[in-house]
Amino acid sequence: MSTRPLACAMLLLLLSSGCRDREITTYRAPKDPVAVLPGADASGQLPADHPPVGSPAGGEAAMANTAVPTGSDSLTWAAPAHWAAKPAGPMRKGSFAVKGDGAEADLSITAFPGDTGGLLANINRWRGQIALPPLAADQLDAHREHLDIGALHVDVVDFAGTANGTPTRILGAVVPHGGETWFFKLLGPDALVAREKPAFLEFLRTVRPR
Amino acid sequence: MTPLVRQFRDFFVSLKLTVVLLALSIVLIFWATLAQVQLGIWGVQEKFFHTFFVLENIPGTAIPVPVFPGGYFLGGLLILNLVAAHLYRFKLEWKKAGIQLTHLGLILLLLGELITSLQQVESNMRLPEGGTMRYSESYRINELAILDTTNPEFNEVVAIPEAVLADGGSIQHPKLPFQIRIRDYYPNAALAMRNQPAPGGQQAATGPLATAGIGPRVAVTPLRLTYKQDERNAPAAHLEFVGPEGSLGTWLVSPLLGMPQKFDYAGRTWEIALRFKRYYYPFALTLLDFTHEKYAGTDIPKNFASRIHLKTDDAREDREVLIYMNNPLRHAGLTFYQASFEKGDKVSILQVVRNPGWVLPYISCIMMALGLLVQFGIHLLGFVRQRSAAAVESSG
């Protein structure tokens, strides 16, 4: 069996695709239902129904964009020296590893536009992460501690539950600021997170608007 | 067999060649992955994979020299190597059936990728709710469309690829009663009205080149080419149309103008537009309804779905389809995927893919899986027989 026919076929395939991008084509097409630009007029103004010049045709979201919008960088903080900074990643504004007793807890700082569903929904989301039942709206006040740090209003929660069968604790703070909601969350082994609570509260007191 | 032919044969059937080609492929893929930071996915595919050689300019000049074998070169040699080794060593043996089937699947996979890279066409269809579309648009390739709109029923279209504009010079076409002279061409340019500040604050250095249409009122600022995945290059060109009795005027064209420009010549009405390349189909899609679900309390999308009415010109098909993630519409050799939407959830964007080789990877994977099953099955059977024979011996 000769391989020549195969080689010829491949060469033809290559050549046919190579010429394609310079080929002028003609065809008959149905009419578009859109208007056209009239000839030049002296006014220098665009006709009333003309789309703005200089912006791409086809609207703003012509390409797929399913990226999750996150908040701005409008808050700053100073972490305790024994917390080790980690790379923040695409969703996080800040990220720290809190180590002790051979275990590690994770501190995450995130921000999103709007109220992200409200305080109760977010606190119940955290409770769900450590296998606690959701709170009703009238139970919320009993479980949160309110702090005023400068101009910021901070709601702090402290929940102990379990994750994958091990005792796990969440220390969280929700901070509405400038139309966004900021979340500071320390998640890790119960004993370690409980011991870090003073450091966490001290850390919250360093949060300032930029 | 002459020594030269034998040398060639030994080169193409050798396993060393396979190893070297695979090693070079690893380097190529690693390099291309790093280069994706600067070039983006399209640029990388063109520069590293859809080419016989990776070209780099000699520093300080614009002279390209090949520096590394490209995807076509390595893939092509791999196919040759595989086919040659197969033909050379082929023996019709039941014991080798599995290996042969697996390798045949691999050859098919490589051929399928070649066909895909040469023949695949991707485009977008933008459908507002209640709107009907008969064409899709490329999101990277532009064309200069010259339409004869005199007939009230249809348009006669002459579509000139952007690459022809980039070549410069002039264009003459039997369907056009005028010649097109390309006065200038920018692969990427921003437009602004002359009575408004230009983008970036800089004012266009030159006066208007255009004498007709909207061009005299628009300032053109050339920009660097972008390779980002979510940005498009917007070319611009000044075109002078020349008839037998002289110049008809110079028009500015760019997809950023947003609308075609109109003029009358030789008793006919013409429209010109530099636009995203269009692909017309012998059927129409109408968007009946677009739904967009989010996870509660967030803006994270959970599901998008487009309820579409498909109607072919020959009236053979007239039906409703639901397109959502991982459930595309396949029709007439095309695949329509739910790709995106616009703000307000009133406009759905479908990705339209024509890939004549789409079925080959499936067939080749089935062949390779079957081949491996057969191969291991033969070994397993042999092993079981040996053991049972040994058991019979020891018990006897």
pLDDT in tens, A185-197: 999 999 999 999 9
pLDDT 10s digits, B192-228: 777 655 544 444 445 677 888 888 888 888 888 777 7
Instruction: Give the range among A23-32, A167-176, A197-206 with minimum mean pLDDT.
Output: A23-32
pLDDT 10s digits, B49-87: 988 899 888 887 778 888 999 998 998 899 889 888 888
| Residue that wins the pLDDT comparison between B177 and B8 | B177
Distance separating alpha carbons of residues B266 and B326, to the nearest angstrom = 51
Query: To the nearest whole percent, how much of chain B has pLDDT over 70?
Result: 95
Angle at B194 between CA B191 and CA B196, to 5 degrees: 90
Cβ–Cβ gap B340/A50 under 8 Å: no
Cβ–Cβ gap B339/A64 under 8 Å: yes
Average pLDDT over residues B254-277: 89
Question: What per-residue confidence (pLDDT) applies to A40?
Answer: 41
Torsion, CA B379, CA B380, CA B382, CA B385, rounded to 10: 170
Q: Name the burial class of residue B54, with classes exposed (0-12), middle (13-18) and buried (19+) by CB atoms within 10 angstroms of its CB.
A: buried
Predicted confidence (pLDDT) at residue A67 exceeds the cutoff of 70:
no
The answer to whether A75 touches A177, Cβ cutoff 8 Å, is yes
Angle at B379 between CA B375 and CA B384, to 5 degrees: 145
pLDDT 10s digits, B92-133: 777 888 888 998 998 899 889 888 888 888 899 999 888 899
> Which one, of A110, A119, A162, A156, lies nearest residue A137 by Cα?
A119
Average pLDDT over residues B131-152: 90
Please tell me which of the candidates B135, B213, B300 has its beta carbon nearest to residue A37: B213
> Among all residues of chain B, which has the CA nearest to that of A19?
B163
Query: How many whole angstroms from its chain centre is CA B213?
Result: 33
Please tell me which of the candidates B160, B280, B299 has its beta carbon nearest to residue A68: B299
Binned at pLDDT 50, 70 and 90, residue A117 comes out as confident
Predicted confidence (pLDDT) at residue B329 exceeds the cutoff of 60:
yes
Q: Name the burial class of residue B32, with classes exposed (0-12), middle (13-18) and buried (19+) by CB atoms within 10 angstroms of its CB.
A: buried
Question: What per-residue confidence (pLDDT) applies to B200?
Answer: 47
Average pLDDT of every residue of chain B: 87
Question: What per-residue confidence (pLDDT) applies to A66?
Answer: 44
pTM score, whole prediction: 0.59
Average pLDDT over residues B2-25: 89
Distance separating alpha carbons of residues B135 and A42, to the nearest angstrom = 36
Cβ–Cβ gap B83/A6 under 8 Å: yes
ipTM: 0.71
Query: To the nearest whole percent, how much of chain A has pLDDT over 70?
Result: 71
> Which one, of B204, B352, B329, B209, lies nearest residue B277 by Cα?
B352
Contacting residues of A for B158, CB less than 8 Å apart: 24-26
* Neighbouring-strand partners of residue B270: B148, B263
The answer to whether A193 touches A169, Cβ cutoff 8 Å, is yes
Which residue do the tokens 């498009």 mark? Answer: B232
